[in-house]
Structure 1
Amino acid sequence: MNKTIADIAKISGVSKSTVSRYLNGGSVSEATKRKIELAIKETGYTPNPFAQSLKAKKTYFIGTIVPRLDSYAASHTLIGIDEQLKELNFQLLISNTNQQIEREIETIYSLASQKVAGIILLATQITQVHLEAFEKVNIPILLVGQEHPDVHSLIHNDLEAGYAIGKYVLEKGHRKIAYLGVTEKDVAVGVRRKEGFKRAIAESEGCEVRYFETGFNMFAAQQRVTEMLEGFQPTCIVCATDNIALGALRAAQLKGLSIPKDVSITGFGGYDVTEIIHPGLTTVKLFFKEAGKMAAQNIVKLVNEESVPKRTLSKYEIIERESVDSIIPNDL
């Protein structure tokens, strides 16, 4: 049977109102605090966050808005957010917008009307309408994946990671390269990753690089690469996401090309599947779960009016597998 505040009060020898005040962050003496904490430890009592919210006229809920649920990046980020919020005694509310900006804006207002303590937005783009909504709801907002100078953000280091994968393929001897990206409406994936890659290319001579755009879906990428290979035969295809890379891999194989002998392919994300496919995909691993945990820590700090940097960067790592060949003569 679940223990109640009344049980904690009886065991610790204080009133229910004192226990409630303690649970809601109110002032109690150190001696009383120790008694209550001991009683909670003995009984394994877990506060009900919804009941706490009603009594304290504040909530312990963090609304998290995601553009899609069938995304490796989104799902693993949510796992990190959820695990960390539980440790901080907050609860996660998830709202999926199905990549519709209008629903995203509506959800910001809806969550605010439900008195959430703060909102984490896994953003694909930030518009003026977003900024107006942030200002009107007047609660802590944290962007994940995109940034804006006026809003607290947690981003992957897309610029430097794009540069790193560019340098990597150049060091393998590749000079005839196709870069397969996405719409520049997505600043992180569509702009920053490409900018970093371009910076690496600019530091090397004798490169023939062509830039192509596709959707995030691997089947759209497969079709785009099939079309691309009719007129351009690169030694390496650098892809802005792992899903795009999987589509490119399939398209190349259907063309009868051997990976990496005929064409090398790289991804971006570090999805689990990239390790078990054949050949294994060389990719830039992003640490989505860890980023989710950092996001949870930051939003709770904002809720508690603690200092948080305007921009937080998560880490990345190049995972080298079999999909990239070295074409330097004699490997020199």
Structure 2
Amino acid sequence: MNKNISDIAQLAGVAKSTVSRYLNGGSVSEDTRQKIERIIKQYNYVPNTFAQSLKAKKTSIIGTVVPRLDSYATSQTLIGIDEELRGLQYQMLIANTSQDMQREIDAIYDFARQKVSGIILLAAEITEAHLKAIEDIRIPVLLVGQKHDLLHCLIHNDDQAGYIMGKYVVEQGHRDIVYMGVSEKDQAVGVHRKQGFKRAIDECSNCNVRYYETSFKMSEAVITAEQILQENRPTLIVAATDNIAMGVMKTASFQKIRIPKQLSVTGFGGYDITEMIHPTLTTVKYDYLQAGKLAASHISQLVEGENVRKHTILDVELILRESVDKR
């Protein structure tokens, strides 16, 4: 039978408050410390960190708010956060909002009520309601994936990602191009990634680019791709994410369009599956795992009151594979 804090106190012959003080790093006599440690080791007692944290002024828990769990970028970022936090003696709580903005706001307040030490926020858009919630709770918050002047942020270089992809496809001779983006409510993917691409295209004097908007879901990208390929097939489709790119490739397969001979396709993200599908996908790789580790390090520093750079930008890398043909 598992022992609780009361059992440990009784076996050690001390008050429950003394055991609690020991577990929270408070001062106890050397003799008492040895007694408690001996009992803990004997019964393999594991403290309930969550319960301890609710009573402590300072907790060992970091709250992480994510828009969705069925995303490669999110899952890899969470793995990085968890690995780093464990090494820093923190634990992570996750709130999944299913891309519901009100649930994001609620999650911020909920975490504050649970007395987390800090919050890592993965959000597509930062509104006045977000800023008010962050101001109200007075807990360190780190924004990951988006940039905001008032918040500590960790972002990928989306503008550079779009630019290097645009330069590459132009260098390969493509002039009739479709860009499949997402809503501009998402500043990183919907705005900055597309802006970087446009910047490269503006340096090309004879490019014809059509811009379409879809969602992050592969199933909806398939529908948008069907529309594009029925209207006027380009030589290349640049998809704003690898998921969208795979939706395009699925549609092309259904329509017996050969990639890259009849249609070139590119993405952004560098998901593991993109090097296993056929043909392999040309993409811009984002190091989501490293982003997660760095986010955990930064939030722990903020919790400890240390200085952290306001905005940290992570590099990206163009990965050349089989899905782009030279024109």
Equivalence for 1:58: 58
C-alpha distance after superposition, 1:222-254 (max 9, x if no partner) = 111111122222111101001100011111222
Residue 172 of structure 1, CA deviation: 1.0
SS at the partner of 1:312? Answer: strand
Q: What amino acid does structure 1 have at the position aligned with 2:151?
A: V
| Equivalence for 1:11 | none
Deviation at 1:56, TM superposition (A): 3.8
Confirm whether residue 184 of structure 1 aligns to residue 184 of structure 2.
yes
Aligned amino acid, residue 295 of structure 1: A
Q: TM-score, normalised by structure 2?
A: 0.87
Q: How does 1:61-72 map to 2 (within 5 A)?
A: 61-72=61-72
2:286 corresponds in structure 1 to: 286
Q: What is the aligned partner in structure 2 of residue 90 from structure 1?
A: 90
Partner of 2:165: 165
1:242 aligns with 242
> Which residue of the partner structure matches residue 267 of structure 1?
267
5+ residue gaps, structure 1: 6-15, 29-39, 328-332
Residues 266-289 of structure 1: CA distance to partner in whole angstroms, max 9, x if unpaired? 011111111111101111111111
Within-5 A mapping of 1:36-185:
49-50=49-50, 52-53=52-53, 56-185=56-185
For residue 312 of structure 2, what is the aligned residue in structure 1? 312
Within 2, Cα distance between the matches of 1:67 and 1:101?
A: 8
Structure 1: how far apart are the matches of 2:287 and 2:27?
A: 39
The one-letter code sitting in structure 1 at the alignment partner of 2:291 is A
Query: For 1:45 and 1:113, how far apart are their aligned partners in 2?
Result: 27
Shift of 1:70: 0.8
Question: Is the 2:54–2:115 contact (alpha carbons within 8 Å) kept by the matching residues of 1?
Answer: no
Return the alpha-carbon distance in structure 2 between the equivalents of residues 110 and 27 of structure 1.
31
Query: What CA distance in whole angstroms lies between the structure 1 residues aligned with 2:298 and 2:27?
Result: 25
Give the AA of the match of 2:239.
C
Q: In 1, distance between residues paired with 2:51 and 2:210? A: 58
Residue 223 of structure 2: aligned partner: 223
Query: Does structure 2 conserve the Cα–Cα contact (< 8 Å) formed by 1:159 and 1:196?
Result: yes
Separation (CA, whole Å) in 1 of partners of 2:152 and 2:236: 37
Shift of 1:147: 1.4
- What's the CA shift for 1:55? 6.0
Q: Which residue identity is paired with 1:115? A: K
Partner of 2:199: 199
Report what 1:8 is aligned to: none
Closer/same/farther in 2, CA of residues 24 and 304 from structure 1, 3 Å limit? farther
Alignment-derived partner of residue 13 in structure 2: none
Greater mean deviation of Cα atoms: 51-60 or 251-260: 51-60
Distance 1:166 1:22, change over 3 A: farther
Write the distance in 1 (CA, Å) between the matches of 2:121 and 2:220. Answer: 26
Helix, strand or coil at the partner of 1:105: helix
- SS where residue 200 of structure 2 aligns? helix
Instruction: Call closer, same or farther: CA 1:24–1:294 in 2, change over 3 Å.
Output: same
Distance 2:256 2:277 in 1: 17
Contact persistence 2:236–2:263 (CA under 8 A): yes
Say if 1:49 and 1:90, in contact at 8 Å, map to a contact too: no
In 2, the alpha carbon distance for the partners of 1:324 and 1:239 equals 13
Output one character per residue of 1:77-103: Cα deviation in whole Å (capped at 9) or x when no partner. Answer: 111111110000000000111110111
Deviation at 1:3, TM superposition (A): 11
Q: Whole-Å Cα distance in 1 between the matches of residues 22 and 236 of structure 2?
A: 61
Give the Cα separation in 1 of the matches to 2:56 and 2:185: 41
Task: Give the deviation of 1:23 after TM superposition.
Answer: 6.8
Matched pairs, number? 324
